[in-house]
Homo-oligomer: A and B are copies of this chain.
């Protein structure tokens, strides 16, 4: 597990002696002004004369002063931190979401506290308590399914909240959602329009993935199609799970001609497995994924999928929160539905 240690240890290891960190009064004394003036130089420089500001800045630089935002936050009642809760960042969609959200918030001076809630039913209220105890100025939360207790904690925190990803419930506050039912329906109609009659799905068992595939199945049945296989695998989705699921389907009496997967990883796995078995794609089996990961565009054959921009969602969410936080711009109280579109490639 570990290799041998460095035979030539560095000389300057170990942190500095924890001498008292420099604080605002130190800067004030050195600059010959009141602490409040130092605060102004940092936060509202317009209200300080250039000469004074210069003196203060020199003192700050000389002492290497880093303002204690914790203390400032306690006083101003704004922590300039926002909490973000997502199930995982191992998934490209959430990684993109967090990346763009974090970037957008940082530009505005907000630091993101990241919490990974996982897919299991671990204690979400404890997680929220840990987060809300740090008094974030706002909250981004993905994957909803709040318990009543969680719902109440969030409401009582009295901060702007953006829920992301889901669309079909009563939002706590703001919502940047995604209509998973419509995805299922549109993919169904896409396949039906190409004349397919026997369908299958492979889905992770997280609620939103299931909504997509179950709506898909319902839609094809409603149109007279038959669903010959509905595999469900434990979240999170993986390539291997897609391979295994397709393998399980190939034994069946009736082979599907069109397959909808709840994730591009599953789709890639299914395609890989199908080719192993000599199944012609798309002639014998058409496949559509979900997510439009790079894999779907860059693998061979590039495969059809549903595009949904995780990073776009992050930007929109950040915009919503910032306009609440700064009081500028139109207040966006209407739920926003993220657009999606089917990206047709070589597997359909």
Asked, given contacts A129-B66, A298-B238, whether A2 binds B339 with beta carbons under 8 Å apart, the answer is yes
Number of interface residues of A (CB under 8 A): 96
Interchain nearest-CB distance for A311 vs B (Å): 10
Asked, given contacts A6-B334, A15-B160, A89-B89, whether A339 binds B1 with beta carbons under 8 Å apart, the answer is yes
* Copies of this chain present: 2
Is A15 touching B159 in the complex (CB atoms < 8 A)? yes
The contact string, 1 if C-beta is below 8 Å from chain B, for chain A 37-80, is 00000000000000000000000000010111111011000010
29 A–B contacts from the bound complex (CB under 8 Å) = A1-B339, A3-B179, A3-B337, A5-B335, A5-B336, A6-B167, A6-B337, A9-B335, A13-B173, A13-B174, A13-B333, A15-B158, A16-B156, A64-B156, A66-B129, A66-B153, A66-B157, A70-B134, A88-B99, A89-B99, A90-B96, A95-B95, A98-B114, A99-B116, A111-B113, A112-B114, A238-B298, A243-B298, A275-B300
Seed contacts A1-B312, A16-B156, A21-B156; 11 additional CB < 8 Å A-B pairs: A6-B335, A15-B159, A15-B172, A68-B133, A69-B134, A70-B70, A70-B79, A90-B99, A102-B114, A102-B115, A111-B134
